[in-house]
Amino acid sequence: MIIEKEIDFSLVYDFNEYPDKNSGRCDNCDKAHFHSSISGGKLIRECSNCGMKKSI
């Protein structure tokens, strides 16, 4: 039995620790449209659909 971990939208996940389940798609909603920004010297990718953030 696989238990899915609930996504906390207040966190920025690290790509090295949490790679994409499907390359180039959001782990939460599986959409491929993102907004990108720089924060603390890191590129942050935010899903346009659900808001999940990942540091790349």
Domain ranges in the chain are 12-21+29-55
What whole-number distance in Å separates Cα of residue 3 and Cα of residue 14? 20
The per-residue pLDDT for range 28-47, each reduced to its tens digit, is 999 999 999 999 999 999 99
Collapsing DSSP states into helix, strand and coil, what is residue 25? coil
CA angle in degrees (0–180, nearest 5) for 45-26-10: 60
- Is a pLDDT exceeding 70 seen at residue 8? yes
Whole-number Å distance between alpha carbons of 14 and 27: 13
Q: Is the pTM higher than 0.75?
A: yes
